[in-house]
């Protein structure tokens, strides 16, 4: 029977509804995108991987009625979101892989007239290893081909990944 099918989604749903994330990153925009904001949460699961949930406001297509655009979304190696975010460094890549096989390469955000919501399961990193790194949003889509980072344009949003209390 349908209701007997136990798959991870039921656990993931409960994590999102009732549990506290183990880590989170508050996203703020750069000088050119001052109203970009959002929160990215990281939950430990019983399956070895991490459940990520992101809710983002004020993406660049906010003023285009009916628009829906992809925005590159990555974990970068340093948690320094000062200035133009250049100090965030490159993609988190402990294995020395090619893009888009970096541990920090995330599914792109789909911005619907400025708003994005996404949740996904990710086994490329542990929560402990990403504390003190950053979540970065780019101005353009990730082409999942160009090296070293998918040619996604400038970094427009940044948040340091912090352990939650």
Interface residues with Zn ion (CB under 5 A)?
91, 99, 102, 105
Contacts for 151 with CB less than 8 Å, ≥ 6 apart: 140, 142, 143
- Is the CB of residue 140 less than 8 Å from the CB of residue 12? no
Helix (H, G, I), strand (E, B) or coil at 128: helix
CA 49, distance to chain mean position in Å, is 15
Site map for Cu ion, 105-144, x if CB under 5 A? Answer: -------------------------------x--------
CB of 70 to Zn ion, least distance (A): 15
The smaller minimum CB distance to Zn ion, of residues 10 and 98, is found at 98
Site map for Cu ion, 37-76, x if CB under 5 A? Answer: -------------------------------------x--
Strand partners, 148: none
The smaller minimum CB distance to Cu ion, of residues 50 and 137, is found at 137
The smaller minimum CB distance to Zn ion, of residues 41 and 99, is found at 99
- Is the CB of residue 51 less than 8 Å from the CB of residue 16? yes
Phi and psi at 164, nearest 5°, equal -85, 155
Whose tokens are 């892989």? That residue is: 97
The smaller minimum CB distance to Zn ion, of residues 91 and 138, is found at 91
Q: How many residues bind Cu ion (CB under 5 A)?
A: 2
């Amino acid at each position: 029977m349908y209701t007997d099918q136990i798959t991870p989604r039921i656990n993931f749903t409960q994590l999102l509804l009732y549990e506290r994330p183990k880590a989170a990153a508050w996203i703020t925009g750069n000088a050119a995108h001052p109203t970009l904001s959002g929160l990215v949460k990281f939950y430990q699961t019983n399956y070895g991987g991490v459940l990520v949930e992101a809710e983002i406001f004020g993406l660049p297509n906010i003023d285009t009625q009916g628009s829906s655009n992809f925005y590159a979304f990555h974990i970068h190696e340093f948690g320094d979101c000062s200035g133009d975010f250049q100090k965030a460094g490159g993609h988190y890549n402990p294995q020395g892989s090619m893009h888009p096989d970096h541990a920090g390469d995330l599914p792109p955000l789909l911005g619907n007239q400025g708003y994005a919501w996404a949740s996904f399961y990710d086994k490329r990193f542990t929560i402990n290893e990403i504390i003190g790194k950053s979540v970065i949003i780019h101005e353009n889509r990730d082409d999942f081909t160009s090296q070293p980072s998918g040619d996604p344009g400038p970094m427009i949003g940044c948040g340091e990944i912090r352990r939650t209390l």
